[in-house]
Amino acid sequence: MTEPESAAKPPATPAPTPALLPIGLVVSGRRVVVVGGGRVALRRVFALLEAGADILLVSPQATATLAGLADAAQLRWVVRGFEPDDLAGAWLAFACTDDPAVNEVVVATAEQQQVFCSRADDAGRGTAWNPAVGRTGPFTVAVHASRDPRRAVAARDLAVEAVQAAGVPPGRSAPRSGRVVLVGGGPGDPGLITVRGRAAMAEADVVVADRLAPLALLDQLAAEVEIVDAAKVPGGRSMPQEEINRLLVHHASLGKVVVRLKGGDPFVFGRGGEEVEACLAAGLAVEVVPGVTSAIAVPALAGIPVTHRGLVQGFCVVSGHLPPGHPDSTVDWAALARLGGTLVILMGLRSMPSISAALVAAGLAPDTPVAAIQDGAMSTARTVRTTLGSVADDITAAGLRTPTVFVVGAVAALGG
């Protein structure tokens, strides 16, 4: 007796997940073939570029970015459909087209030629699976989750967070060459430090921290990491730059990894260049990790773009810690008044009355919009919007304190 056609059929039993051999592949300098030129291929290609692979891209079309990589000779692009000979000499292949039939041919050809192959549209039919990958410090976390990418990503993130929270796990005491890493921590919010900056923090034996760095990150360091407070408080206690340089050299000379944690970007009014010179003079390895500069990020957080199509085509960032006319100042305020773009002033709270007067005297209109933004990336952030002619009185009345970023120009009226 047969079942009527309308009877519900039991759900298909999913194919069993094969046992995987977790292994890291060294593909640097080795041929890897990517078949397909769309979004999936783009993801695979950038991971392969980072790993140093010799990439052959096979596809009749490619995204603009992939085509640009080919133009820059960062990969070789064969502009046609897949042919079996494309896998000659390959160590690994990726079937990334949006045509299941083509992907099936790529996988079958790879099987015949004993080349491991990942299939984007049906991972279970490939011989290589792509894990969710995360990196922090010297550690790489790769997670497979029975072909469930969302679960794999969630588990990967938890694993990376666990490694970061533990600092560098046992093995920290193993002999290492001392070095210094200058890390730009961004405008204060711990979430705005770069991924590389977080990784450097996880490797640190010593952290020499500025006052305006994202200091909440210090609580995530392992207990044995030494923290040095190198704050420079305007008008208050400050560690001399020479002492900071000495500490960096001293600790690194003992074989320690020293992270110099700075606010913003280490090369934007951060004396990072001086610290690099001191380390190099001592024969030490030094790395610079750029940061999100407050000159752009703080206005952005207040809704102010430093450039705006049809309004402003350029911007200039200057230090205002020395007032106009000071013998040590190298800023030509009169030239800045004639510039016609956005002027971003850092460290200018005390000097702003004389700066605004100098800009007006040089021809900038007193009604030019000004935004003064205090604690731009912090919960205590606030913005005072005023004009060049009134800024001195308004910031005094508002009781603004450092750090405050000033934006002068038409864009300062935006985002209010």
Q: Tell me, letter by letter, the H, E, C secondary structure of the chain.
A: CCCCCCCCCCCCCCCCCCCCCCCCCCCCCCEEEEECCCHHHHHHHHHHHHCCCEEEEECCCCCHHHHHHHHCCCCEEECCCCCHHHHCCCCEEEECCCCHHHHHHHHHHHHHCCCEEEECCCHHHCCCCCCEEEEECCEEEEECCCCCHHHHHHHHHHHHHHHHHCCCCCCCCCCCCCEEEEEECECCCHHHCCHHHHHHHHHCCEEEECCCCCHHHHHHCCCCCEEEECCECCCCCECCHHHHHHHHHHHHHCCCEEEEEECECCCCCCCHHHHHHHHHHCCCEEEEECCCCHHHHHHHHCCCCCCECCCECCEEEEECCCCCCCCCCCCCHHHHHHHCCEEEEECCCCCHHHHHHHHHHCCCCCCCEEEEEECCCCCCCEEEEEECCCHHHHHHHHCCCCCEEEEECHHHHCCC
> Which residue numbers are catalytic?
210, 232
